[in-house]
Structure 1
Amino acid sequence: MDTPPPAPETAATPQPDPDEGAGTATVDSRRRRAWRIARNILLTILGLLVAIWLVLYITKGRFLKHPFERFVGGQTHRPVTVAGDFQLYFAPFRIKFVAEKMTIANPAWATKPFLFQAERIDTRIAPLSLIWGKRRLYWLDLAKGAVDLEWNEDHSANTWTFSNEKGGKPLEFPRIDVATVRGTTVRYRDPRMQLIADLKVDDIRSADARIGKAVGVDGDGTIRGTPFRVTAQLLSPDATVNRGKNELRARAWAAHNVVDVSGTLPSIAGIEGVPLQTRARGRNLSELLGIIGVVIPNTRAYRLKAQLVQQGQEYRFTRMSGTVGESDVAGKLTITNGDRLHLDSTLTTKTLDIVDAAPFIGYNPDIVADKGAIAAAAATGAAPQRIMPDAELPIETMRRFDADLKWTIRTVRSRNLPISNVDLTLDLERGRLALSPLGFAMARGNVASDVVFDTRQRPTAVSYDIRLAPTPLGRLLAGYGVAEAGTTGTVKGRIKLDGRGDSIHDSLSTASGRIAFIVPQGQLWTRNVQLAELDLGTFVQKMFEDKLKKPVELNCGLVGFTVRNGVAAADPILFDTTKNVIVGRGGFSFRTEGLDLAFRADGKKFSLFSGQSPVGIGGVFAAPKLDVVSDQLLARAGAGLGLALVATPVAGMLAFVDVGDAKSAACGPVLAGATARAQRTTKGTPRDDVGKGTTAKEEDGSGSLGEKKSQRKKFLGIF
């Protein structure tokens, strides 16, 4: 029997999985369960917050007083106490904080026990501001608050920086929208500046983020032992109590000075980096700077203004301008209150009155202006008729601060000396004061100098090095009545002295070195030369012929002095003209300021009537005396009179005849500024008429310089 063929294979039909629907339901269930859990957690947290809020609101958070004291004390590293009522809770979304008789202690090194204390403080705080660090107070009521702000001795920490590590941060205040402040005081102490200030803050009442009236501050204190008084106002009627535009106006009085400060502050105490306009006036600028321990010479009355920016320990005064006495001044000044006080300044002056420069050598400028230099010198303790001041350098104070100064002066207003284009660089470092370089133009010539006062050596070691470039004589002497026309001679020279002393007078009284001024070939007025020569015949002849201003040729000239222990001796004084040779002897003393010099001219040509006697210069620096009619001239006049009586009038004239035997000078040693021993005639022979570089005292041991007893005899006897 045939078997039927198998049926063809067909694709299998998939069957539904009974677990798939169950898995989808499980995922949805898990999501719903997670949402319920999160919701329950949130509700629980919210409930807890409500409960906490409710508990705090009901209890006013008074039970948190001691935890608050411990927590804040730990954060500030200071004991914090609240002796009266305490409240800390949300009301409703702002943190309300109330504390009575609250104190925050100062660190152990402070001079007062508390940084902050208040009879009562009541405030509303923005909660999120505590999280983000930008503290904001919606409202503040402070009664009888007292704040003590201090720096430590080495300026490494302050009382308002809550840290165990060194370093003091600037004082910052929170933003305050509405405030009432009553009976609050602030004390500030800075040992480095030696500053203590006690300030009283006027009552503050503000509303809607507006102060409504000026906030006043009054107080007093001392700075470096100098009492001062200060008053200030914050004018902010249209700004927030803090973090707004606070217009500051302050005035301080100290040591006969008045200082005004004004500017716009970003906060009540935020002065760092803020440009402030300052104005100062007073009778003496040295009194103002002396308050911060900076010593400058006395000045006349001053008025100055500048822009002040304080940045850390730096106080930068820019755009400075004003007057000191009759002189203008402009520039900038930076005062750095670091380990050592340091001043760095750049100044310019268009016109400096010569009287205002008097303090730089120790004079009081007011006395100079009213009574003259001699009276000003006497005021420093100098002997009568002395012109050099005895004012001592402020040795100890100069060691307390350092300074750098660059000062340029266009013109110096002076009756006699045409000085201009002064360029001064001053460097003071730990008691060593250097005026180097100090240069200026004088009568179309230039003077370059270096002066150093080293107070680290006792007594002070002083070095003077003053160099005069070739300068026209006519212009240089024009202020003394010498006309410039007809005078083409020039002069150059150098003063190099080293001494010891704490005043200019003492340093020069002990100085040793050399002074030399060289006059190369040129022309001088006949009148000036002939008056010095006392060649009466030539002088009278030219006077009657109206040739008084005819130029006289000068071959070369040298005025040289050797200085030993404060006494300067001519070494040499020698001028060679076409007609005469002029020599001088003697010297002067920095100790007594005495002058004792004698000049004599010998003619190179025959002169029928010539005095030919020395011209003496005596007296003192302040009052020199010209002795034209000398003993020798009187003796020659007496001899002439005797000859006329016993012989004839013609014979009497022989006493005044100059045979003209003067030996011309070799100009090489003269122009080299050589000493007397190196001087020669044109024939090369040593000169025997220019002395040995010694005074009469050194030559014969007689009296002090300036005494007439033997000095007159010696001077006249050497010719």
Structure 2
Amino acid sequence: MDQEASTIPPPAAEPADHKRQRRWHIVRNVVLAVVGAIFAVWLVLFITKGRFLKQPFSSIASSLTDRKVTVGGDFQLYFAPFRIKFVAERLTVSNPQWARERTLFAARRIDARIAPLSLLFGKRRFYALDLDQGVANLEWDKQHRRNTWTFSSEGDGKPFEMPRIDRATVTGTKIRYVDPQMPLLADLAIDPIAAKDARIGKAVGVKGTGRFRNTPFRLNARLLSPDASITGGRNQLEAQAWAANSVITVAGTLPTLTDVEGVPLKVSAKGSDLSDLLAVIDVAIPQTRRYALKADMVKRDRTYRFTDMTGTFGQSDLSGRFTITNEQRLRLDAALTTRRLDIVDAAPFIGYNPDVVAAKGAVAAAAATGAGARRVLPDANLPVEMMQRFDAGLEWKIAVVRSRNVPVSNIALKLSLDKGRLALSPLTFSMARGDVASDLIFDTRQRPSAISYDIRLASTPLGRLLAGYGLADSGTTGTIHGRIKLDGRGDTIHDSLASASGRIAFIMPHGTLWTQNAQLAELDLGTFLSKMFQGKLKKPIEVNCGLLAFTVRGGIAMADPILIDTSKNVVTGRGGFSFATEAVDLAFKADGKKFSLFSGQSPVGIGGRFAEPKLQVISPQLLGRAGAGLGLAVVATPVAGLLAFVDPGDAKSAACGPVLAGKSAAAQRTTKGKPRDDVGSRR
């Protein structure tokens, strides 16, 4: 038996063709089974419209997005035939816990045809979208790191990307956008949209209201490139907002509808007062008249840069650039240029309302600030609280100031604001061929504010300086230079000057003045009348040296000294003025160096207030001497009456050294070196 078994041949091997054929049958059967299963699923979904997937869809969508997704009405999800048809009524998607609004998105009805593969690869595509009564609450967190529309496990917010939509009908859409960092809140309504073949064909309008910081605004915007937007291209926008008595326009092209980072935008603004607009971001500037400005703006992180700015405020022009940085403290940096500045537009720099100045004058403008009647020093409070909220740096150059009386040009201002300390240092300008340099400090960190004024006038021709006040330039070679150095406390210009202490001194070196002007000031009637009849009024009179100085204590300025030495007279003065009440009480007297008949020899007074100074030519002393002369004429002879008006010519010439050095009255001397007894408190 064993021998027979060993002789049975082994079975023949299966041919290779048969193996391949069997494998093919297996693959075919598997494919047919899969296709059959898919078809069966498709058929079930198509017949049932996928309504039974309503609950699974909500659960799966909630799990994938980490948001609660609910469908309160009809639901359909199936292939029709190769496109995903999605229908949902009363669909809601919740916001993350940190958001203010509980709902990210809600719609009365969504009916969409979606490209299946676009959900897995590349940009999402809608063949068709019908959206009715959609409401979206789009919000950034306080750090501007996360947003409500980015479903990311990493938590980093990304700009919103518009899917490609071939055909769309969108009605009743509302968007609420919140950015706490700016802070900005906007409630927007989008006009109905009808798109076909990925084309809308006309601009899409957006209207709404909102609040930027604490300022409400109204907005009208248009998406000028809706066809490009729905196909994932450029987003050309134009928006106009009304806020803070201004109209602001923004136009540009964005990569996505919510991304303005690094994108150049054209911006313009116009309104009644630029200070109202900048106050929205807690930046304080002086008031302006009506303004209109335009610039290019680019936002990068928390910095907004405005370049190529041009425009006007009031009757003045303005150009340059500025930057707003919103880091731990708000900061404004600017470099500005003005070709012509109207003097009325400069009024706000000292606290005046320019519209009031233009309409009613400086006195009315001062009264509008709270100052008393007939006063000129403004009593407007410094914006102390706002000055301590932001920092600033400014360089401003002004070519010419339009002014009726004082020719001012070549202004260069450097401003620095650091935690409430405002420094205008230096502030320089040219005035009547003379230069003024000043340093003004307003330190609001001290209470009340510590304010210092340091104003220095370089040598300036008197004829040109006072030409607007009647002094002729021709025949006048005299010059003047001086300094005002005052320190005071107060939150208004008036209060700071009313409490100020320091010194005011103006020095007149050797020069000449028209005889007409000098003799009037001296009230030397004999010399004046004789020169008038001789036709020599334009003959210059020589000034050897002069000093008009005041020592200021507690807002009261007292002459210390007033002393002008001319070739024929010595003019002295006494009295002073008050910054607090703005009252003026000055008296000038001229003593002749030579004998003169018909000389009044009595003080010429200046009284009244800053707003209404009064020249008192007929002084009580002059009336007294007139009475004495009348008495002599009665008891003696008419010729004897003239003796009361005779000047014996015994004036003591001044030593010009102390005068030109700006020394106080105690340091003044005669040419013989003796202390003067006609100036200062010894008067």
Write out aligned runs for 1:443-522 (5 A): 443-522=432-511
How many Å apart are 1:51 and its aligned residue? 4.1
| Partner residue, 2:664 | 675
Distance between the aligned counterparts of 1:475 and 1:468, measured in 2?
14
Q: Hey, what does 2:362 align to over in structure 1?
A: 373
| CA positional deviation for 1:541 | 1.5
Per-residue CA deviations over 1:644-668 (Å, capped at 9, x if unaligned) read: 2222333322222222222222222
Residue 190 of structure 1 pairs with residue 179 of structure 2:
yes
* Preserved contact between residue 331 and residue 391 of structure 2 (Cα < 8 Å): yes
Instruction: Check if 1:623 corresponds to 2:612.
Output: yes
Who is 1:592 aligned against?
A: 581
Aligned to 1:55, which of 41, 52, 65? 41
String of CA shifts for 1:435-454, please: whole Å, max 9, x gaps. 22211111111111121222
Deviations 1:5-61 (Å, cap 9, x if unpaired)? xxxxxxxxxxxxxxxxxxxx9xx989x999998998899689758845762563366
Residue in structure 1 matched with residue 165 of structure 2 by the alignment? 176
What's 1:544 paired with?
Answer: 533
1:306 partnered with 2:306: no
Any idea what the Cα deviations from partners look like across 1:211-265, whole Å, max 9, x if unmatched?
A: 1222111112233443322222223376353533444332222343222333334
Residues 531 and 120 (structure 1), Cα distance of their counterparts in 2 relative to 1, 3 Å cut: same
Question: Could you tell me how far apart the structure 2 residues matched to 1:675 and 1:352 are?
Answer: 38
What TM-score do you get using the length of structure 2 for normalisation? 0.90
CA pair 242-547 structure 1, distance change in 2 beyond 3 A: farther
What's the Cα RMSD here?
A: 3.1
Residue type of the alignment partner of 1:331: G
Q: Does the 8 A contact of 2:92 with 2:107 survive in 1?
A: yes
Inter-partner Cα distance in structure 2 for 1:396 and 1:222 = 22
Change (3 A) 1:135 1:528: farther
- Report whether the alignment pairs 1:141 with 2:118: no
Query: Are 1:260 and 2:249 counterparts?
Result: yes
Deviation by residue 1:659-705 (Cα, 9 ceiling, x = unmatched): 2222222222222222222222222222222114xxxxxxxxxxxxx
> Cα gap change, 1:601/1:51 in structure 2, threshold over 3 Å: closer, same or farther?
farther
Q: Deviations over 1:97-139 (max 9, x none)?
A: 4433332222333321112222233334455555556444443
Alpha-carbon distance change, 123 to 584 in structure 1, aligned in 2, over 3 angstroms: same
Of all paired residues, the percent bearing the same amino acid is: 66
SS in 1 for 2:134: strand
Which of 91, 94, 97 is the matching residue for 1:108?
97
Q: Does 2:108 match 1:119? A: yes
Partner of 1:355, secondary structure, is: coil
Compared with structure 1, are the counterparts of its residues 569 and 69 closer, same or farther at alpha carbon in structure 2 (3 Å cutoff)?
A: farther
Q: Which amino acid counterpart does residue 437 of structure 2 have in structure 1?
A: A
Shift of 1:378: 1.1
Structure 1 residues 249-288: aligned runs within 5 Å: 249-288=238-277
Corresponding position of 1:582: 571
Take 2:329 and 2:43, find their aligned partners in 1: how far apart are those partners?
Answer: 56
Distance 1:50 1:317 in 2: 65
Superposed CA deviations along residues 65-98 of structure 1, whole A, max 9, x for unmatched, are 5565555545544333334444555556555544
Paired position in structure 1 for 2:5:
none
Distance 1:508 1:137 in 2: 72
Q: Which amino acid aligns with 1:304?
A: L
Determine the C-alpha separation between the residues in 2 that align with 1:513 and 1:42: 107
Q: Give me the whole-angstrom Cα distance separating, in 1, the residues matched to 2:30 and 2:378.
A: 91
Structure 2 runs not aligned, ≥5 long: 1-12
For 1:250, the aligned partner's letter is A
Deviates more, 1:422-431 or 1:467-476: 422-431
Contact 1:534 1:612 in 2 (8 A): yes
Q: Is the 8 A contact 2:159 2:258 kept in 1?
A: no
AA matched with 2:366: A
The whole-number CA distance in structure 2 between the counterparts of 1:607 and 1:516 is 31
Aligned partner (choices 217, 221, 224) of residue 206 of structure 2: 217
Residues 1:439 and 2:428 aligned together: yes
1:356 is aligned, of 323, 345, 350, to 345
Provide the secondary structure at the position in 2 that maps to 1:651: helix
Residue-by-residue CA offset, 1:197-224 (whole Å, 9 max, x unaligned): 2111111111111112221111122334
Q: Which deviates further from its counterpart, 155-164 or 468-477?
A: 155-164
1: distance between equivalents of 2:28 and 2:299? 52
Q: Is the 8 A contact 1:177 1:240 kept in 2?
A: no
Q: Which consecutive unaligned segments of at least 5 residues does structure 1 have?
A: 1-24, 693-717
Q: Label 1:505 to 1:29 Cα distance change in 2 as closer, same or farther (>3 A).
A: farther
Equivalent-residue separation in structure 2 for 1:45 and 1:361 (angstroms): 89
Pick closer, same or farther for the CA change 1:671–1:355 going to 2, 3 Å. same
Residue type matched to 2:268 in 1? R
